[in-house]
Amino acid sequence: MAKRKRYLTATMPDGYVKTIGPTAAPLTHYWRIVAVTADGKTEVFWGHAKSLRETTGKRAAAADAERQRGWRSYGFEAVELVESADPPLA
């Protein structure tokens, strides 16, 4: 039996909205790292995970990346995905 396709939406604290789907993957959280490089440029990394534990593991990886890549600073944010059966309105 095929899994039902659904849309997942993440709304970040700054108002940014990311929609994922259609997907049957068991995703629960969306994460984003906004890093400031040594030369002042901004890099954004994002992804989604199947659990809160997997998501919080990205926070430790971000700290390692800060040292390895020489970022001036970075912010890590994670939010829970909200499910919808219908596609988002454009």
Each residue of 15-53: pLDDT tens digit?
Answer: 999 999 999 999 999 999 999 999 999 999 999 999 999
pTM across the whole model? 0.84
Q: What is the DSSP string of 11-79?
A: E-TTS-EEEEEEE-S---EEEEEEEE-TTS-EEEEEEEESSHHHHHHHHHHHHHHHHHHT-SEEEEEEE
Average pLDDT, the chain: 91
**What pLDDT shows up at residue 85?**
65
**What pLDDT shows up at residue 1?**
53
pLDDT tens readout for residues 51-80: 999 999 999 899 999 999 999 999 999 999
- Domain ranges in the chain are 6-84
Token reading at 25: 């993957």
- In Å, what is the CA distance from 90 to each residue of 19, 33, 41, 87? 11, 26, 30, 9
